[in-house]
Amino acid sequence: MKSTYLEINLSNLKHNYNHIRSFLNPETKFLAVVKANGYGNGSREVSKCLSESGVDYFGVAYVREGVELRNQGIKKPILVFHPQLENLQELINYNLEPSIYSLNFFNNFLSILKSNNKKLYPIQINFNTGLNRLGFSEKHYNEVINKLNKNNSLVKLKGVYSHLASSDDLGEDHFNMSQITKFEKITGLIKPIFPNAIFHLLNTSGVMNYKNYQFDMVRAGISLYGYSNDNEIDKFLKPVLTLKTIISQIHKIKKGDSVGYNRSLIAKKNMSIATIPLGHSYGITRIYGNGKGYVYVKGKKAFVVGNVCMDMLMLDVSAIECKEGDEVVVVGENASAEALANSAGTISYELLTGLSDRITRRVIVG
């Protein structure tokens, strides 16, 4: 029996990919988002499997993540959502597609291309339609289009995209539709001049909730890994990542005894407390402490008690018959990362991407 480990199930990944594809028009391209180490699932294994499964594009946040994919043998186009000025040379060396989001960035990138004697370098333009994070706003539309025209021997416009702020929230349908309308307007301006550019807007929840607006491509991340921000859809997805560990020790404590640092639990009754080798340095942060988070022991919920420590945490197993060495399931099938994250006020994205590489990984090839 191993102690703390992560299992990555690639047949579940393929299943999720095929399931998301079933929402798409046959001609819609698929960009797989593998930033943050493939949402904590391991970008190497995930990207290789998805590349073989037929995705068209990869998306990462930073240049370094794109370089890793290239070093792992990924040949497909890679879009970098948030490249930084300081690594544009590296971006070019590894043939990554920058997302151009500001005039300053655009100008700097054009000069790097000139000094490298590059021609028709593939780029994508990010338009801000309401998220107010990155991208060109309406007042710059014309300037961007002029720049693209003027530099059409230096750069090749591969894609044009925007990102929805609340695609998972149908209560924000009105706002979502206003973003979609703005993006349609951008499409109307640019498509006549650059008919081969790929237009894309939807992330996972966009695909699920706004599938009439696929444009030419969608960008899915979280659903590939088994979660969708929607319990009904989650039923058809399979978690790729399983996090398991074992019970190291069990203490029988008496009413009035305390547990953990700062004595944050004072027992109101006699209790059984199990310690497991998993703590905040593993990515199970202190927000899960003091009765918020839970894991499964013998199929039953065991709540985290006391403050989460760096390398371990304690569970209330008073109502569960268990012993030292027994298996503990933290995330996986019937142990939803989304539900665990929600119990502590966060989301599956944060829980999954926060899992540290202190945890041993085992890949199951399906």
Ligand X SMILES: *Cc1c(COP(=O)(O)O)cnc(C)c1O
- Please count the residues of this chain forming the interface with ligand X, following the rule CB under 6 A: 11
Asked if 267 and 292 count as a contact pair (C-beta separation under 8 A), the reply is: no
Residue tagged active-site, from 2, 118, 255, 261: 261
35 is a catalytic site residue: yes
Residues between 227 and 286 that touch ligand X (CB under 6 A): none
Question: Smallest distance from the beta carbon of 305 to ligand X, in angstroms?
Answer: 32
Q: Which stretch binds ligand X (CB under 6 A): 2-10, 171-179, 183-191, 215-223?
A: 215-223
DSSP element (H, E) containing 303:
strand 300-305
Q: Is the dihedral of CA 275, 276, 277, 282 positive or negative?
A: negative
254 is a catalytic site residue: no
222 scored as a contact of ligand X (CB under 6 A): yes
Q: How many Cα atoms sit within 13 Å of 284 on the Cβ side?
A: 31
- CA separation for the pair 149, 102 (Å, rounded): 16
Question: Smallest distance from the beta carbon of 310 to ligand X, in angstroms?
Answer: 29
- List C-alpha distances in Å: 50 to 35, 76, 349: 14, 11, 19
Asked if 316 and 272 count as a contact pair (C-beta separation under 8 A), the reply is: yes
Question: Smallest distance from the beta carbon of 315 to ligand X, in angstroms?
Answer: 30
Q: Annotate 230-250 with DSSP letters as a single string.
A: -HHHHTTS--SEEEEEE--EE
Q: Which stretch binds ligand X (CB under 6 A): 100-108, 146-154, 217-225, 242-250?
A: 217-225
Write the CB contacts of 121 (distance below 8 Å, at least 6 apart in sequence). Answer: 92, 113, 154, 155, 156
32 scored as a contact of ligand X (CB under 6 A): no
Residues between 149 and 208 that touch ligand X (CB under 6 A): 163, 203-205
Question: Smallest distance from the beta carbon of 168 to ligand X, in angstroms?
Answer: 8
Asked if 294 and 265 count as a contact pair (C-beta separation under 8 A), the reply is: no
| Contact residue for ligand X among 220, 278, 287, 340 (CB under 6 A) | 220
58 scored as a contact of ligand X (CB under 6 A): no
Residue tagged active-site, from 14, 29, 35, 238: 35
Catalytic positions are 35, 261
- Binding residues (CB under 6 A) for ligand X: these are 33, 35, 81, 163, 203-205, 219-222
